[in-house]
Amino acid sequence: MSQSKKIIIAIDGYSSTGKSTLAKHLAKEIGYVYVDTGAMYRAVTYYAMKQGLIDMEHFDKEGLISDLDNIDLRFEFSPELGYAEIFLNDQNVESYIRSIEVSNLVSKVARISQVREKLVEQQQKMALNKGIVMDGRDIGTIVFPQAELKIFMTASAEKRAQRRYKEMKDNGVQIEYDTVLENVTSRDHLDTTRADSPLVKAEDAVEIDNSNMTVEETYALAMGYVKDKLAE
């Protein structure tokens, strides 16, 4: 789709609602840049884990805060995959940041104001020329409150856990469904109750509940919103 008009598309919502999949598809269809902000927080979490700053028993918040200047994040487009992968200090960490260990800790890292400030600043710079699709937890409320199109994704915790469980099993990860469901509900609580930039639907966002929708149906609905906005 060729469009001279450039807008910012902000996609927020709960974990495992298909935000990233939707954002990738939309960006590819309309020729926009896609940015996975969740990958940025996961990469910082992975860094903290590798440095021994965080695990399930302890978290050296001050140590991570003092180390933030040593964390360099960038996205590099992969022609084979059709989307950009994240690099942490010049290392491709795309495959490492999707583990259940990172999933269990990322919300704790994302609660830190200094971490959010650093990443939000980077995210805002990425969209100076618009023409971008960005997904996360606070894109439409904090990062781009001026975004022309805001989509808020939701689905039942059980449906989301089923999707995440299947994805992990398909990738060869040995894990129990109950463990995934516990992770999903725990992240929901942490994301919606944190003091800094909690997960909340922006007043002017359109909501998509895809509990009983296929990926294709979700995409078709969202693309309808995109086309309407570009036609304005």
b/e string for 109-120 if b means 16 or more Cβ within 10 A? bbbbeebbebbb
Which residues fall in the annotated binding site? 13-21
Q: What is the pLDDT of residue 193?
A: 93
Task: Convert the pLDDT of each residue in 46-80 to its tens digit.
Answer: 999 999 999 999 999 999 999 999 999 988 878 77
Q: Residue 123 — left, alpha, or beta (φ > 0 → left; ψ -120 to 50 → alpha)?
A: alpha
Q: What is the pLDDT of residue 120?
A: 92
What is the pTM assigned to this prediction? Answer: 0.83
pLDDT mean over 161-168:
94
**Domains (range + CATH), the chain:** 8-227 (3.40.50.300)
Which residues fall in the annotated binding site for ATP? 13-21
pLDDT mean over 10-18:
95
Element (H, E) at 12: strand 8-13
* 231, two tokens: 């036609």
Give, in order, the Cα–Cα distances in Å from 53 to each of 103, 110, 168.
Answer: 16, 14, 26
